[in-house]
């Protein structure tokens, strides 16, 4: 009987050593593709990836940005008028704007929200603009649906 147990143990060890490791799961991702249109000058793409820390965003805009100061812009995911995730602060920290474009950028926003929470919602880009002497408002300059 001990010989049978030794043989079984040897087979288990052999199987463990020759079995291929489990393939890591594909990361959960989504994309928002902005298309220039009337009253919506932003043209570019944002890619989203779910991470342990939050949502990683990579992107680049070819058109639509008139001001050079990143603080003049907001980037948010909206469900109707409700903000689901606000990427503005992280975008403002990394955005290098050379009007009308924004150089390629990447940041991770710490959030408990998942890609599933933002999929099929709208990503909106807003710019702070002067509407009258000393009066500024956030005007929407781009909107795109978050898709798989």
So what's the pLDDT on residue 24?
Answer: 61
So what's the pLDDT on residue 9?
Answer: 52
So what's the pLDDT on residue 6?
Answer: 60
Nearest-5° Cα angle at 143, 139 to 148 = 155
Domain positions in the chain: 28-147
So what's the pLDDT on residue 118?
Answer: 97
Per DSSP (E only), the strands in 64-100 are 73-79, 82-86, 97-98
So what's the pLDDT on residue 4?
Answer: 52
**Domain spanning 28-147: which superfamily?**
Superoxide dismutase, copper/zinc binding domain (2.60.40.200)
Average pLDDT per consecutive 10 residues, the chain (148 residues; last block may be shorter) = 53 51 76 94 98 97 97 97 97 98 98 96 95 89 96
Q: What is the dihedral of CA 128, 130, 132, 135, to 10 degrees?
A: 40
So what's the pLDDT on residue 77?
Answer: 98
> How far is it, in rounded angstroms, from Cα 67 to Cα 64?
9
């Amino acid at each position: 009987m001990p010989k049978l147990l030794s043989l079984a143990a040897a087979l288990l060890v052999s199987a463990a050593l020759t079995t291929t490791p489990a393939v890591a799961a594909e990361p959960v991702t989504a994309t928002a593709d902005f298309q220039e249109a009337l009253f919506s000058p932003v043209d570019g793409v944002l890619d989203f990836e779910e991470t342990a820390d939050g949502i990683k965003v990579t992107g680049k805009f070819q058109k639509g940005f008139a001001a050079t100061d990143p603080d003049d812009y907001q980037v948010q995911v909206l469900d109707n008028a409700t903000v689901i995730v606000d990427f503005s602060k992280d975008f403002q920290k990394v955005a290098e704007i050379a009007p009308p474009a924004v150089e390629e950028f990447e940041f991770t926003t710490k959030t408990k929200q998942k890609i599933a929470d933002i999929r099929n919602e709208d990503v909106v880009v807003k710019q702070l603009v002067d509407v009258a002497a000393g009066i500024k408002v956030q005007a929407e300059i781009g909107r795109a649906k978050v898709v798989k």
